[in-house]
Amino acid sequence: MKLQAWQSMQVLGGDHQTVSIRHGCAIRLRPPPPSSTPLTNLAFASLLPPLPSTSAAIKRASPVAVYSGDNKDYAAESPAKALRRILDSPGIHQGPACFDALSAKLVERAGFQFCFTSGFSISAVRLGLPDTGFISFGEMVEQGRLVTEGVSIPVIGDADNGYGNALNVKRTVKAYIRAGFAGIILEDQVSPKACGHTQGRKVVSREEAVMRIKAAVDARKESGSDIVIVARTDSRQAVSFDESLWRSRAFADAGADVLFIDALTTREEMKTFCETAPLVPKMANLLEGGGKTPILNLLELGDIGYKIVAYPLSLLGVSIQAMQDALIAIRGGRIPSPGSMPSFEEIKEILGFNIYYEEEKRYATRRPSPSQLSSWGVSSSVNDTQQRAQDNAEQRDRSLEDPVIEVITPDVYNNFGADASRDPFSRIWSRTLRIKLTGRDGFEKLDVRIPAGFLEGVTNIVPALGGVNLKELLDDAAYEPGGKLLLDFNDTIGDRIQVFLE
């Protein structure tokens, strides 16, 4: 792969967006900072490194797919390696906190390079309970696995205090690795833990706190992984600021990759922290809505020395407010206003319906040939009907492929007496059985007519008729003149099936 020098250039236009190019990789348009942030576009561009492409064509389960601009191929990159690449790149990097696969997907669609899972938010949406130790190790791992499987950006997982002693920490780290996390946050609180920026926090001894980080490093080595270990201390509130600095240095010596002191109270404390173990990246946690840590803009955080910044409550907070507003509207006999929610088409696009429909076409089965249909004595109008259905399907991007119709030579139903005049079923030979299939999208998929006496093999035309006693239905209708609707139902995929005796 050809390597090019990292560049950042300004594109002047209506949106004043920045284009960044690094190592010949993906080009990314990045929005300018909020107007409330006293930054010039050029200064903001110098803070942010180039972002990987979030094109819908670039997807992963694990590892991450990274686009190469020179040879237009994809190179495998583990989530941890992708996160380390971000940590090694210039500038400060933002990571909103998510709580499920959908919120993580929205973070990715918005163009962020990585995200966090928030124990506070997961406890809220999964249990409806406060983040005070109620949520378990297993619940956090399960929720995290759904998040990492839903996005292609690296995810840093909140692992609380490791859910026990050093051996529990090892198990936690290995489980987070298997769940697909790129990084893991481990703190030094006692059990049950308390949420950051709240009262009642207590921490374990220095020795136990350091052993947790050493255990995490050992678990990473034993797993053959490169997961990023974020060491958090809550000792600023539980003990003192000096204690939090001592623990941060000890965590760095033990092998932590990123350091994090929660609930620092002043800009000066934040600056002093960033000067501790200067070669190890620092994480800031800006609690929206009123926490203990000052809310600084990106330029200020970058000047102080932070490398990554988390926004733990934004998505949860606005979701709660939006749901409350919607419920008030519904209770008042209204529905939420169009401007307060995306359209149904936008929701389907976000969830990937269109991608699903395109993928579905790859596995569609063939229609029967005209010769196969004619061998059954099917009227020629069927071919025209099927052709119209196929044309309609090609005009609609999200239409479903028609089901396969395999027509075989049937066995004649001959279970009637020698005296045909006394057997009601003998009358069926002069009648026609019409089978009509209408797709759930309203378009006609099939309309065939066959002699009513040919019952064996009908399920090869419409599998959903398997198990239906057509013989009994025909017996009941044998003496009735004119046409009669024998069946009218929807199958498991929503198509309407109608059977007529003509």
Per-residue pLDDT tens listing for the chain (502 residues): 333 333 333 333 333 333 333 333 333 333 444 433 333 333 343 344 444 433 333 333 344 444 333 333 334 789 999 999 999 999 999 999 999 999 999 999 999 999 999 999 999 999 999 998 899 999 999 999 999 999 999 999 999 999 999 999 999 999 999 999 999 999 999 988 776 556 668 999 999 999 999 999 999 999 999 999 999 999 999 999 999 999 999 999 999 999 999 999 999 999 999 999 999 999 999 999 778 899 999 999 999 999 999 999 999 999 999 999 999 999 999 998 888 999 999 999 999 999 999 999 888 866 656 665 566 555 545 455 555 556 555 555 444 444 444 444 444 444 444 444 445 445 566 678 888 889 888 888 888 887 776 666 677 777 777 778 777 777 777 666 667 888 888 887 888 988 888 8
Give CA angle at 19 (15, 21), nearest 5°: 170
C-alpha closest to that of 461 among 433, 482, 441, 422: 433
DSSP string, 158-217: E-TTTTSSHHHHHHHHHHHHHTT-SEEEE--B-SS---TTSS---B--HHHHHHHHHHHH
Residue 407 has a pLDDT of 45
Q: Which residues contact 191 (CB under 8 A, 6 or more apart)?
A: 133, 161, 163, 164
Find out whether 315 and 98 touch, Cβ atoms under 8 Å: yes
Residue 242 has a pLDDT of 98
Residue 349 has a pLDDT of 94
Q: How far apart are CA 492 and CA 470, in angstroms?
A: 19
User: 381 in the Ramachandran plot: left (φ > 0), alpha (ψ -120 to 50) or beta?
Assistant: alpha
Residue 348 has a pLDDT of 94
SS3 state at 427 = helix
Q: How many CB atoms lie within 10 A of CB 365?
A: 10
Residue 116 has a pLDDT of 98
Q: How far is it between the farthest Cα atoms of the chain?
A: 105
Residue 96 has a pLDDT of 97
Give CA angle at 102 (16, 120), nearest 5°: 100
Residue 395 has a pLDDT of 56
Q: How far apart are CA 171 and CA 216, in angstroms?
A: 9
User: 286 in the Ramachandran plot: left (φ > 0), alpha (ψ -120 to 50) or beta?
Assistant: beta
Q: Which residues contact 276 (CB under 8 A, 6 or more apart)?
A: 245, 248, 249, 252, 259
Residue 149 has a pLDDT of 97
Identity of the amino acid at 417: G
Give CA angle at 232 (280, 291), nearest 5°: 115
C-alpha closest to that of 283 among 262, 312, 313, 300: 262
Fold of 79-320: TIM Barrel (3.20.20)
Residue 38 has a pLDDT of 38
Q: How far apart are CA 285 and CA 308, in angstroms?
A: 9
Read off the tokens for 266: 């002043």
C-alpha closest to that of 361 among 390, 405, 399: 399
Residue 443 has a pLDDT of 83
Task: Identify the residue whose tokens are 């005796």.
Answer: 501
Task: Identify the residue whose tokens are 């299939």.
Answer: 437
Find out whether 262 and 196 touch, Cβ atoms under 8 Å: yes
Where are the chain's structural domains? Answer: 79-320, 427-501
Task: State the pairing for strand pair 258-261/228-233.
Answer: parallel
Find out whether 62 and 180 touch, Cβ atoms under 8 Å: yes
DSSP string, 344-413: HHHHHHHHTHHHHHHHHHTTPPPPPPHHHHHTTT--THHHHHHHHHHHHHHH-TTPPPPPP----PPPPP
